[in-house]
Amino acid sequence: MAEFKVVISDPKTGLTVQKEVKDPAAKAFLGLKIGDAVKGETIDLQGYEFEITGGSDFCGFPMRKDVLGVGRKRILAYSGVGVRKGEKGMLQRKTVCGNTIHNKIIQVNLKAVKVGGTDIFADAKAKAEKTRGERAAKKAGEKPSDAAKAEAPAAATA
């Protein structure tokens, strides 16, 4: 029984949406590799087209495009997925997963290549706007609750 958490990102806005995918839609992902295209119809998003950009297994090890196969491997790497920044030029031994999706993969990362008719990022946009407004109010010296109280009487009088 395959089950994945699919994280869909919009490269234009930088917003992400998480969706849980279970059988039989999850079986469509098994055997696909990083860089493969996925139709939105497989996860009930008509009109969308996605590209697989990565993922991680049940222990949190990241998938890497240049590691072939389905299992975990220990590699020597100096840059890329799973490598700490700041240690320039130093080789690090890291455990990573292969580039093929299998049963032990928990999270699959997708990038929206073609956008469909419905906007799946609408909730994420609203949440981003709300937090942006709270940050602006906090920067101005007000508490977010004070800004909401100030708007409430103005709306009641109008």
The residue behind tokens 């920044």 is 85
User: What is the rounded distance in angstroms from the CA atom of residue 89 to the CA atom of residue 2?
Assistant: 39
- Report the pLDDT averaged over residues 54-78: 90
> How buried is 8 (Cβ within 10 angstroms: 0-12 exposed, 13-18 middle, 19+ buried)?
buried
User: What is the DSSP code (8-state) at residue 54?
Assistant: E
Quote the pLDDT of residue 113.
Answer: 94
**Mean pLDDT of the region 1-26:** 90
Q: How far apart are CA 103 and CA 55, in angstroms?
A: 12
* pLDDT, tens digit, 9 for 90 and up, residues 103-122: 999 999 999 999 888 888 88
Instruction: Report the length, in residues, of the chain.
Output: 158
What does the pLDDT look like over 129-154, one tens digit per residue? 888 888 888 888 765 555 555 555 55
| Average pLDDT score, the chain | 85
* Three-class secondary structure of residue 1 per DSSP: coil
Residue 125 has pLDDT above 70, yes or no: yes
State residue 152's pLDDT score: 52
Beta-carbon count within 10 A of 9 CB = 18
pTM of the model: 0.76
Give the pLDDT score at 31.
93
- DSSP per position, 77-124: ESSSTT--SS-TT--EEEEEE-SB--TTEEEEEEEEEE--SS-TTHHH
Task: Assess contact for 59 and 82: CB atoms under 8 A.
Answer: no
The reported pLDDT for the residue numbered 78 is 78
Chain centroid to CA 108: 8
Q: What is the pLDDT of residue 2?
A: 82
User: With bands split at pLDDT 50, 70 and 90, how would you rate the model's confidence at 93?
Assistant: confident
pLDDT of residue 158: 46
